């Protein structure tokens, strides 16, 4: 017989049978993070069909973050880029009462960070082509594409530097923020779920510099033929009207993923 035994005090990811790690901590630091953020108000009616019933949308505002992660410790100091789309929600369960950004979807340009994000914490990460943003003078430009099909275009024009005092204030608030997900693992056979529950994966950040910006964003609905597993997602986002740009900014600093505080919400 095989001789691989699962250890109760270990943490594994597939393939588990090559061995896991004794559980100590899952906190991890990203030492060099550039965050391009655009926020806009849309219609509540346009978002609600895509948010589970257990969550209350506190404000119909979408936050789209284009993030360049560098010096990622758990990836041996490596890099990856992502696009995250959040909407602010409240979860009031039997046990947990939590407010934070609900992760509608995340696209990442590498496989490695996608897997634990989905499986361990319910963050709905997908793959896409996401080159580094271009930075020309005060202009930032960025895109995301699925196999040659552009579905997102972003730009930010930098304004003034945020003063140090305001950054200190931002850092006090951002020491720990709830980031809500929804972990869904299907049954192997037939319809229905093996796991189906809300999660939170708290995040911290230490901003070193920031600039207020003016931003633009454009979603493009892909067809099934262009992106068979993502067309419906790009279509849903493209159909949410941009009523008003409410904020845009660029920050540089450090992120801390507080995996130790991640938990199933009940």
Site for its own copies in 48-107 (CB under 8 A): 48-57, 70-71, 73-79, 89, 103-105
d(CA 180, CA 198): 7
Name the minimum Å distance from CB 85 to its own copies: 10
> Within positions 145 to 204, which residues make up the interface with its own copies, using CB under 8 A?
145, 147-150, 182-186, 188-196, 199
Point out which residues pair with 97 in neighbouring strands.
92
d(CA 195, CA 187): 8
Tokens standing for 230? 């993502």
Pick one of 46, 98, 99, 126: the residue that binds its own copies (CB under 8 A).
126
State the pairing for strand pair 27-41/21-22: unpaired
Q: What's the CA dihedral at 44, 233, 242, 255 to 10 degrees?
A: 90
**Comparison of 75 and 247: residue with beta carbon closer to its own copies:** 75
Name the minimum Å distance from CB 176 to its own copies: 15
Name the minimum Å distance from CB 16 to its own copies: 4
Q: Is 206 one of the binding residues for its own copies (CB under 8 A)?
A: no
Name the minimum Å distance from CB 175 to its own copies: 19
47 phi, psi to nearest 5 deg: -90, -40
Q: How far apart are the first and last CA of the chain?
A: 39
Pick one of 1, 95, 164, 173: the residue that binds its own copies (CB under 8 A).
1
- Give how far the C-alpha of residue 21 lies from the chain's centroid of Cα atoms, to the nearest Å: 25
Of 12-20, 156-164, 165-173, 240-248: span binding its own copies (CB under 8 A)? 12-20
């Amino acid at each position: 017989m095989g001789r691989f035994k699962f250890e109760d005090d270990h943490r594994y990811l597939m393939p588990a049978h090559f061995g896991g790690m004794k559980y100590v901590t899952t906190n991890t630091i990203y030492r060099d993070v550039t965050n391009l953020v655009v926020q806009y108000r849309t219609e509540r009616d346009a978002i609600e069909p895509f948010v589970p019933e257990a969550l209350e949308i506190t404000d119909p505002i979408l936050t789209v973050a284009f993030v360049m992660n560098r010096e990622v410790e758990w990836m041996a100091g490596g890099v990856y880029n992502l696009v995250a789309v959040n909407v602010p929600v409240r979860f009031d369960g039997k046990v947990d009462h939590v407010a934070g950004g609900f992760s509608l979807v995340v696209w990442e340009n590498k496989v490695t960070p996608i897997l634990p994000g989905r499986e361990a914490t319910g963050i709905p990460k997908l793959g896409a082509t996401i080159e580094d943003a271009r930075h020309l003078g005060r202009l930032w430009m960025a895109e995301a594409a699925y196999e040659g099909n552009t579905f997102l275009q972003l730009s930010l024009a930098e304004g003034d530097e945020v003063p140090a005092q305001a950054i200190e204030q931002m850092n006090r608030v951002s020491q720990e923020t709830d980031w809500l997900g929804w972990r869904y693992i299907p049954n192997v056979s037939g319809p229905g779920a093996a796991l189906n529950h809300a999660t939170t994966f708290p995040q911290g950040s230490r901003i070193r510099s920031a600039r207020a910006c003016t931003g633009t964003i454009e979603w493009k609905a892909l067809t099934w033929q262009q992106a068979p597993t993502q067309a419906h997602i790009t279509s849903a986002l493209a159909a949410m009207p941009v009523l008003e740009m409410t904020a845009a900014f660029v920050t540089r600093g450090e992120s801390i993923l507080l995996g130790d505080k991640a938990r199933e919400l009940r």
